Amino acid sequence: MNEEKQPPVISESSDGVQLRGEWTTPYLKQLQKISKNNTRHQVNHIAIAQLDPNGSRVLLELIGNEPSAWPEGLTKEQRGLLELVREKVGPVPAQQESVNLLAALGQQVFRVIRHGRELLEFAGQLSALVFSLIRHPRQLKIKMLLDVLQRDGLNAVPIIALLAFLLGAVIAFQGGLQLATYGANIFVVELISLIMLRELAPLICAIIVAGRSGSAFAAQLATMQMNQEVLALKSLGQDPFAWLVLPKLLGLMIVMPLLTVLSMLTGIGGGMFVAMVQLDLSPVEFIQRFGAVVDPIHFWVGLIKAPVFALIIVNVGCMQGLLAKGGAEAVGHRTTRSVVQSIFLVIIVDALFSILFAQLGW
């Protein structure tokens, strides 16, 4: 017949403070109540029947972390468990006091400043590596560069072409409804061409690449960081930036302008298709109007943005991946942050470009 289990007990007697009973997870609430009345360094005898990791955590709060100061009564197995818990489990974090709105705002500002500094430091390391590559071109990993060109360039063509075509078609459809009421169907050419060339083509391309390739960069490097593959490269005397970051930077800066041109062409093609179906504007008339009224500077304005957007996406994605610490949750967290921050910075930089080009009269 099994003995009846005894709940955890802390008692005082003529021999001093004693601990008895079952110090296990089923009695965790009672153990937590005992830990609130901390009698640390007063316990001089232990007669615990059963002990598990949760009970060990509470017991260490009562008797301290120094094995030499532990009272008598612990079995060899219990001592081994306490030593394991003492090594693996850190101290219980103190409950943080709530802060007011102004203090929370200040903390957020400091986080933003710290993160901005990290971005600048990472960009500085990339710049130094690019200058080193100019002096020593042989350090470029050609196979890894070609892999980036295929995976993040060629394989991205269908999704970018489809979304740009649909976006151009939607803009032409919505704008054409309004222009048709005034008999100004022909002006749909300027509408779709200027919007796609200057703004939407490079922007939608950058957003898709940030969600598709930027997240992949962050997830890949974060996983390598978890598996200590980055540390292995360093131990072999190799620069992780040269192997993991530089091919991505050069590859994306090559393919982004090409993908942006593709986005421009398919976006204008979608607008031309809607103009033909909805506004009775033939493709020949559309192309003739396009060549007559659209200045080539609009094309270059959109194309200039592409390598800058590529630099932002690689910088943020790779930095977030290399900063990952922890487990699978850290990988997901850094991947999410890379996408959000890349898109945010791309939109901010696009707005700055618009202001700059307006001042230059482009």
Encode 274-286: b = buried (16+ Cβ within 10 Å), e = exposed.
bbbebbebeeebb
Q: What are phi and psi of 13, to 5 degrees?
A: -145, -175
Q: How many CB atoms lie within 10 A of CB 308?
A: 18
DSSP line for 139-163: GS-HHHHHHHIIIIIGGGHHHHHHH
CB 305 within 8 A of CB 196: no
**Amino acid letter, residue 194:** L
Residue 70: its pLDDT value, please?
73
**Is the alpha carbon torsion for 73, 76, 79, 85 positive or negative?**
negative
d(CA 176, CA 272): 11
Q: Are 287 and 183 in contact (CB under 8 A)?
A: no
Three-state DSSP at 20 gives: strand
CA distance 261 to 266: 9
Phi, psi for 7 (deg, rounded to 5): -65, 165
How many residues would you count in the chain? Answer: 362
Cα–Cα distance measured from residue 304 to residue 302, given in angstroms and rounded to the nearest whole number: 6
Taking the chain (362 residues) in runs of 10, the rounded mean pLDDT of each run is 62 66 74 63 69 75 71 76 72 52 80 80 78 78 87 91 93 86 83 89 92 89 85 81 85 92 93 88 88 88 92 89 80 88 92 90 82
| pLDDT value for 1 | 41
45-59 confidence digits (pLDDT tens)? 677 777 777 777 777
Structure tokens at 276: 């033909």
What is residue 94's DSSP assignment? P
How many Cβ atoms sit within 10 Å of the Cβ of residue 174? 11
DSSP annotation of 326: S
pLDDT of residue 115: 74
For 5-32, b/e burial (b = at least 16 CB within 10 A) is eeebebeeeeeebbbbbbbbeebbebbe
Contacts of 202 (CB under 8 A, 6+ apart): 260, 263, 302, 303, 305, 306, 309, 350
pLDDT value of residue 245: 86
DSSP annotation of 68 reads G
DSSP 41: T
CB 292 within 8 A of CB 191: no
Cα→Cα distances 178→175, 184, 185, Å: 5, 9, 9
The count of other CB atoms within 10 Å of the CB of residue 322 is: 20
In this structure, what are the phi and psi dihedrals at residue 174, rounded to the nearest 5 degrees? -70, -45
Per-residue pLDDT reduced to its tens digit, 248-284? 888 998 999 999 999 999 999 999 999 888 888 888 9
User: Residue 200: which of 305, 275, 63 has the closest Cα?
Assistant: 305
> Of 351, 309, 318, whose CA–CA distance to 337 is shortest?
318
Give the tokens for residue 310: 């590529």
| 3-class secondary-structure state, position 191 | helix
User: What pLDDT, on the 0 to 100 scale, is given for residue 41?
Assistant: 45
